[in-house]
Structure 1
Amino acid sequence: MPAQRLDGKALAATMRAEIAARVAARTAKGQRPPGLAAVLVGEDPASQTYVRNKHKACHDAGLASAVHTLPASTTQAGLLELVARLNADPAVHGILVQLPLPKQIDEGAVIRAVAPAKDVDCFHPENVGLLAAGFPRFYPCTPHGVLQLLSRNGIGTAGKEVVVVGRSNIVGKPLALMLMQKPTAASPAAGDATVTVAHTRTADLAAVCRRADVLVAAVGRAGVITPDMVKPGAAVVDVGTNSVNGKLVGDVHPDVGAVAGWLSPVPGGVGPMTITMLLYNTLSAAEQIDG
């Protein structure tokens, strides 16, 4: 039997409607709408598309959204000056600096310059530390999207063996933190799972992956997860986005669908959820800043 589809596009539509209702309730009481400021440096086509999609999603959900576009020649000082202005703007509740940045700019310095209360990507070291300690100000967008995709499809992680293939600061590391922690009032989305973090240098990666009740692929290498690496009936979440001959494909080989119990598609799986959780975090930031 083919794997059941973990449809991120459909779930994102449901959750964005929920967010829109909460935003409408706030504005009906006279509160300003949550505001997201996106900063795009340069003309990378993928980044332009991503920022455009975020801007549209904000508009559709009733959030205020502004895109600040800077040339690729922008200096680090110039970018930091813009970030400082956005930090001080009371109409801006969330700041997103689209990565990657041009080589003359230190990404770490820019990430640290964003006010932690407005860091809706959850990249700032202060917010990463709060997440690791189990008291998150925000959940990182893509990991939170993965957990929502699982939980809202009835796939529990408590007590399960979960393997995360990938160790990036954006997905692998924070997702592992969220999955391993015990759910609390401060961190209700924690997964309570037994977690293994693997990567492409892991010895006998296939054997490690086959242990997983839930397998998350976040490597950035097309088709690296093959059917022989998947436990029959496992839930497989594909976070990868790779361009192969002009086509967007994931880290999971299509034939895995014949072995897995659940499988998220690429596109249409985790991608829409990432943007949805960005809206969620911007609304949360507005609630924390404005009340």
Structure 2
Amino acid sequence: MSAVIMDGKALAKKVKEEVRAAAARMERRPGLAVILVGDDPASQVYADGKKRDCAQCGIYSEEYILPAETGQEELMLLIETLNGRSDIDGILIQLPLPAHLNERAVLSVVRPDKDVDCFHPFNVGELMIGEKGFYPCTPASVMRLLAEYGVELSGKSCVIVGRSNIVGKPLAMLMLRENATVTICHTKTEYLKKECSRADILISAAGQAGLITGDMVKEGAVVVDVAVNRRADGPLCGDVVFEEAAGRASYITPVPGGVGPLTRAMLMKNTLYAAVIHGK
């Protein structure tokens, strides 16, 4: 079997065009504020990418780059200021934060209706009980990608490798909404190969290069690789040994070019949704 490669770049372009068209019909432009604490190069690259996405989608954007030594009170005061501004619909805190800052407290001060990353406890709770609202960007990207390629979820066995609050847990909730039967595994799971090899839909977000080999993939399964790792020799890769898995899967995502580009596009979609909530 030769797997169909699921093109996240093409779909991201389509989603951003949908957002651009909807934003153009609004009386006031949606607005996004991105806060970056410290000078981590990877975070800066990601923040710059979000700025470009906003420009492409007709979304007003502001970027706040704060020194690494910024204190908790100063950061939370900035967030409270942005909470009160009507031109800012979404607030995104670039993670990770420096170790001296209380990440949970910082994320919790963002107004829930401006929490476009879906990290606020209120929004996480809404997701858990099945209410409509913000969906975390990476899990939302996986769901949109599967829908775009017509992958049937109802009644299917879905194995998610990864239990993070950002990807694994919320993705399990979204899969359950579509009536999939979900198993969450992780790097400490005994008999991981056995669990993975029975999956109709296998999603890996563990952050361990080479974790999912071809013999762990059921013939005809859909394989989604969420992880981004860097090999010792430089190139990016996911958790899945792509060449091996592609020989057995029906659909598969590449790394890079799969879930990653779509994640930023879904942030734009969440910002648009926030603007709708705010009556723009």
Question: Same fold by TM-score, threshold 0.5 exceeded?
Answer: yes
TM bin, normalised by shorter chain, reads: over 0.9
User: Which stretches of structure 1, 4 residues or more, deviate above 3 A after TM superposition?
Assistant: none
Q: 1:136 offset after TM fit, Å?
A: 3.1
Q: Which moved more, 1:255-264 or 1:97-106?
A: 255-264
Q: 1:66 offset after TM fit, Å?
A: 0.9
Residues in 2 aligned to 1:38 and 1:21: alpha-carbon distance in whole angstroms:
23
Match of 2:227 among 240, 246, 255: 240
Q: Which moved more, 1:246-255 or 1:165-174?
A: 246-255
Secondary structure of 2:123 counterpart: helix
Give a deviation string over 1:48-71, Cα, whole Å, max 9, x none: 111111110011010111111101
Aligned Cα RMSD in Å?
A: 0.8
Give a deviation string over 1:216-256, Cα, whole Å, max 9, x none: 00001111000011001100000001111321110111221
Aligned residue number for residue 248 of structure 2:
259
Residues in 2 aligned to 1:223 and 1:89: alpha-carbon distance in whole angstroms:
46
Aligned residue number for residue 6 of structure 1:
6
Secondary structure of 2:278 counterpart: helix
Match of 1:210 among 180, 185, 197: 197
Secondary structure of 1:290 counterpart: coil
Secondary structure of 2:160 counterpart: strand
Residues in 2 aligned to 1:154 and 1:227: alpha-carbon distance in whole angstroms:
23
Within the alignment, does 1:268 sit opposite 2:264 as a pair? no
Aligned residue number for residue 25 of structure 2:
25
Percent of aligned positions that are identical = 51
Please show how residues 80-119 of structure 1 align to structure 2 within 5 Å. 80-119=76-115
Aligned residue number for residue 139 of structure 1:
135
Match of 1:67 among 58, 63, 66: 63
Q: Which moved more, 1:239-248 or 1:209-218?
A: 239-248
Match of 1:283 among 248, 258, 272: 272
Alignment size in residue pairs: 278
Give a deviation string over 1:53-105, Cα, whole Å, max 9, x none: 11100110101111111011111111111111110111000000000000110
Give a deviation string over 1:151-204, Cα, whole Å, max 9, x none: 1111121111100000000000000011012xxxxxxxxx21011011111110
Taking structure 2 as the reference length, what is the TM-score of the superposition? 0.98
Aligned residue number for residue 193 of structure 1:
180
Match of 2:153 among 151, 157, 161: 157
Residues in 2 aligned to 1:140 and 1:158: alpha-carbon distance in whole angstroms:
21
For residue 73 of structure 1, what is the amino acid of its counterpart? Answer: E
Residues in 1 aligned to 2:133 and 2:278: alpha-carbon distance in whole angstroms:
12
Residues in 1 aligned to 2:225 and 2:147: alpha-carbon distance in whole angstroms:
16
For residue 127 of structure 2, what is the amino acid of its counterpart? Answer: L
Contact 1:127 1:136 in 2 (8 A): no
Secondary structure of 1:81 counterpart: helix
Residues in 2 aligned to 1:113 and 1:76: alpha-carbon distance in whole angstroms:
11
Residues in 2 aligned to 1:13 and 1:282: alpha-carbon distance in whole angstroms:
16
Taking structure 1 as the reference length, what is the TM-score of the superposition? 0.94
Residues in 1 aligned to 2:206 and 2:19: alpha-carbon distance in whole angstroms:
30
Match of 1:229 among 216, 219, 225: 216
Secondary structure of 1:73 counterpart: coil
Residues in 2 aligned to 1:2 and 1:42: alpha-carbon distance in whole angstroms:
44
